[in-house]
Chain A
Amino acid sequence: MAKIPQKRIHKYLRHNKKFPHVWCPGCSNGIVLGAIIRAIDELKIERDDIAMVSGIGCSSRMPVYVDFNTLHSLHGRAIPFATGIKFFKPHMKVIVVTGDGDSTAIGGNHFIHAARRNIDITVVIVNNNIYGMTGGQYSPCTPHDDVATTMPYGNIDNTFDICKLAIGAGASFVGRTTAYHAIEAQQMIKKAVSHNGFSVVEVVSACPVIYGRLNKKGGAPEMMTEMKENSITLKGIDKLPADKKEGKIIRGIFIDEKRPEFNDKYQQLVDHLKEKK
């Protein structure tokens, strides 16, 4: 057992270049990165054919550690950069890693439009409910009443449901899991990467050092336990009485539909114009 992960590490991580990483103890980013790498390994996609693109934030530091074509871009703009790569080289698998603030606040417009376009990009959103890198300001995904450095008296703002946002905007694959459910995350990412269309995987994750500390959630183990105990599968939620559904993290694949993909449609247009000549 132990031998296989060792090999994976050597194959996929830029282990001799950019370690140690920047993440705090107990951060979920490593778990999510592990899930992405194992998913890619299982899919047997060549590293040369993978572009990993990120914006700005803690989770957006992921690309520098992995041995793919990597792009650490601008805050909120990972998806347009990824669109450029995918559009010019459609054979490449383009994976965006981003956070809740990066993708739904500053990058919200790009997120919904890429979903509408249904361009074949996989977006893995590490949702830690806060801006971690800048020290704990509230994001569109900070729960109501929770404390952040820019909501010191509790969050009066409302939150985004990332998955509903993605579905509403037209994404053809949308799923949610948590960092506690690492294998589930791996399987979901695998499906998302294989899916031909805009796919979104929200991984609810733990930020014990910033969000956890501000909101007295305990350390990493306590936050992991909460993810385990407070989350429920899509099937399970239906069986719960209405009053117990409140506040649950619903895990599962909400939508997985085959719909015309942007690059495919563009290629059809190019072929059609060629025929007309």
Chain B
Amino acid sequence: MTTKKTEKKSGKKNVKKRVLLQGNEAAALGALDAGVNFFAGYPITPSTEIAEIMATELPKRGGKFVQMEDEIASICTVIGGSLAGAKAMTATSGPGFSLMQEGIGFAKITETPCLIVNVQRGGPSTGLPTKPSQGDIMATRWGSHGDAPAIVLYPHTVKETYELAIRAVNLAEKYRTCVVLLLDEVIGHMSEAVTLPDVSKYRVVNRIKPNVPPEWYKHYDENQKYLSPVASYGEGYRFHVTGLVHDAYGFPTNNSNEAAIMMHRLKKKITFNIRDLVQIESFHMEEAEIAIFAAGIVARSAKQAVIKARKEGIKVGLIRPMTIWPFPDDAVRKMLKNVETVIVPELNQGQMIHEIERLAKDKDDGKIIKMQMVNGELITPTQILHKIKEVN
């Protein structure tokens, strides 16, 4: 799966691997290193390489790979596997992500860990299958009916894809929910030379097994912290799981008190742990008068633009969230405090910009500047540099 592999040994614990990796490979490799042992998926451009790697690697490791009849079946099989104790994932792109919506809601209400890698492509519907787009930013936040928070991670390099894949699996297990690793088509299909740190450097989160007698076991224990012991099917705890609103044991309920407890629980486990969930990069933001807010591949272009602009003496920096949902409100608000102008470049017709407008209400009119591209092309460093100079 890797085309080039050289190993440098510098000390026992710090074995570094220099490899040429594609973003999709990095996502697969990161998931495997995080302990993923179950994959169910359906082919779709531009994510298919992830399924292909899993089909090759998982049987070798005694893990499970199955190609299902569609994406609905894929996400449901993933959740079934997870309920049986697997670290389970799937990978898809926009159209498949649309089909997975009901499964995403089910994973969230039943608090079943799973990972979805969504390698974004352009347009609504079949769209631009081989072109980049950041059209799914709000889909990953609000997708699936009903009302539940989301955890979505968004890398901007191949190496970070590997790292965030590990983190995404960990967060899914820790917070018992469906986590989305959102990739840009360009990152999924781009090959980069990457120095991968030793796997042992990364902490891998595993579910804690309950040790209470089965009759005491509550699958949704209201008194437990979020990383609470959780049973799997076939281990002596014959619990019930339903997509209906349920009580602490998992049994369906119409009781308004119990419904409120369950709904709040889904929200609180995210909002009370923002600091653990949020990762954000501040790039050359010292004394910045102009800030660029960008994620994924666009942040990559923005970085180049910032470096060039700084060389010309323009005080500009980049704010780059690696966790886009939950949105890093506090961190962004703080970073934007002393900034005059914010440029929000994105490969859609305005999604992330709504969050910035919400957080930067104090900015003067015309100081939140959009930069949007939806023709399947990337926003280049030069274009961003021009915009910087325009507003400077």
Q: Does B78 contact A (CB under 8 A)?
A: yes
Determine the chain A residues whose CB is within 8 A of the CB of B66 once the complex forms: 83, 87
A51, B234: Cβ atoms closer than 8 Å: yes
Q: Does B381 contact A (CB under 8 A)?
A: no
A266, B64: Cβ atoms closer than 8 Å: yes
Q: Does B88 contact A (CB under 8 A)?
A: yes
B252, A64: Cβ atoms closer than 8 Å: yes
A72, B252: Cβ atoms closer than 8 Å: yes
Q: Please judge, given known A-B contacts A71-B83, A83-B77, A89-B85, whether A48 and B242 are in contact too, CB under 8 Å.
A: no
Q: Does A251 contact B (CB under 8 A)?
A: no
* A–B Cβ pairs within 8 angstroms, 17 of them: A68-B238, A69-B234, A72-B241, A72-B244, A72-B252, A74-B243, A77-B73, A80-B73, A81-B76, A81-B79, A82-B80, A84-B83, A85-B81, A87-B40, A88-B38, A88-B64, A270-B59
Q: Does A261 contact B (CB under 8 A)?
A: no
A80, B72: Cβ atoms closer than 8 Å: yes
Which residue on B lies nearest to A109, using beta carbons?
B69
A66–chain B nearest beta-carbon distance, Å: 9
Q: Does B233 contact A (CB under 8 A)?
A: yes
A80, B236: Cβ atoms closer than 8 Å: no
The CA of A107 and the CA of B251, in the complex, are separated in Å by 24
Determine the chain A residues whose CB is within 8 A of the CB of B80 once the complex forms: 53, 71, 80-85, 87-88
Q: Which residues of chain B from 98 to 114 have a CB within 8 Å of any chain A CB?
A: 102-103, 106
A259–chain B nearest beta-carbon distance, Å: 18
A191–chain B nearest beta-carbon distance, Å: 23
- Against B, the Cβ 8 Å flags (1 = close, 0 = not) of A59-78 are 00001100111111110010
Contact of B251 among A64, A110, A266 (CB under 8 A): A64
The CA of A89 and the CA of B86, in the complex, are separated in Å by 9
Determine the chain B residues whose CB is within 8 A of the CB of A73 once the complex forms: 76, 106, 243
Hey, which bits of chain A sit against chain B, CB under 8 A? Answer: 17-18, 47-49, 51, 53, 63-64, 67-74, 77, 79-85, 87-89, 91-92, 109-110, 113, 266, 269-270, 273-274, 277
The CA of A69 and the CA of B78, in the complex, are separated in Å by 17
Dominant SS at the B interface?
mixed
The CA of A85 and the CA of B76, in the complex, are separated in Å by 10
B357–chain A nearest beta-carbon distance, Å: 36
A79–chain B nearest beta-carbon distance, Å: 8
A72, B240: Cβ atoms closer than 8 Å: yes
The CA of A190 and the CA of B90, in the complex, are separated in Å by 35
Determine the chain A residues whose CB is within 8 A of the CB of B234 once the complex forms: 48-49, 51, 69, 85, 89, 91-92
Q: Does B138 contact A (CB under 8 A)?
A: no
- Against A, the Cβ 8 Å flags (1 = close, 0 = not) of B239-256 are 111111000010110000
Most A Cβ at <10 Å: residue of B38, B70, B73, B236: B73
The CA of A71 and the CA of B79, in the complex, are separated in Å by 11
A60–chain B nearest beta-carbon distance, Å: 10
Determine the chain A residues whose CB is within 8 A of the CB of B341 once the complex forms: none
Hey, which bits of chain B sit against chain A, CB under 8 A? Answer: 38, 40, 59-60, 62, 64, 66, 68-70, 72-74, 76-86, 88, 102-103, 106, 233-236, 238-244, 249, 251-252
Determine the chain A residues whose CB is within 8 A of the CB of B38 once the complex forms: 84, 87-88
B81, A88: Cβ atoms closer than 8 Å: yes
Most B Cβ at <10 Å: residue of A67, A73, A79, A80: A80
Q: Please judge, given known A-B contacts A83-B77, A88-B84, whether A47 and B238 are in contact too, CB under 8 Å.
A: yes
B304–chain A nearest beta-carbon distance, Å: 44
Most B Cβ at <10 Å: residue of A48, A67, A266: A48
A48, B40: Cβ atoms closer than 8 Å: no
The CA of A89 and the CA of B38, in the complex, are separated in Å by 11
A87–chain B nearest beta-carbon distance, Å: 5
A113, B64: Cβ atoms closer than 8 Å: no
Which residue on B lies nearest to A117, using beta carbons?
B66
A88, B106: Cβ atoms closer than 8 Å: no
A84–chain B nearest beta-carbon distance, Å: 2
Determine the chain A residues whose CB is within 8 A of the CB of B82 once the complex forms: 84
The CA of A136 and the CA of B278, in the complex, are separated in Å by 49
B242, A72: Cβ atoms closer than 8 Å: yes
B73, A270: Cβ atoms closer than 8 Å: no
Which residue on A lies nearest to B236, using beta carbons?
A48
The CA of A274 and the CA of B66, in the complex, are separated in Å by 19
Most B Cβ at <10 Å: residue of A49, A69, A270: A69
A77, B59: Cβ atoms closer than 8 Å: no
The 3 tightest CB contacts between A and B, nearest first, are A84-B80, A80-B76, A84-B81
Determine the chain A residues whose CB is within 8 A of the CB of B83 once the complex forms: 71, 81, 84-85
Contact of A70 among B40, B235, B240 (CB under 8 A): B240
B242, A269: Cβ atoms closer than 8 Å: no
A52–chain B nearest beta-carbon distance, Å: 10
Determine the chain B residues whose CB is within 8 A of the CB of A277 once the complex forms: 60
A10–chain B nearest beta-carbon distance, Å: 14
B75–chain A nearest beta-carbon distance, Å: 8
Which residue on A lies nearest to B56, using beta carbons?
A273
Which residue on B lies nearest to A78, using beta carbons?
B76
Most A Cβ at <10 Å: residue of B106, B233, B236: B233
The CA of A89 and the CA of B85, in the complex, are separated in Å by 8
Determine the chain A residues whose CB is within 8 A of the CB of B243 once the complex forms: 72-74
Determine the chain B residues whose CB is within 8 A of the CB of A77 once the complex forms: 72-73, 76, 102-103
B233, A85: Cβ atoms closer than 8 Å: yes
A134–chain B nearest beta-carbon distance, Å: 15
Which residue on B lies nearest to A93, using beta carbons?
B234
B69, A113: Cβ atoms closer than 8 Å: yes
Determine the chain B residues whose CB is within 8 A of the CB of A88 once the complex forms: 38, 64, 80-81, 84-86, 88
Which residue on B lies nearest to A67, using beta carbons?
B238
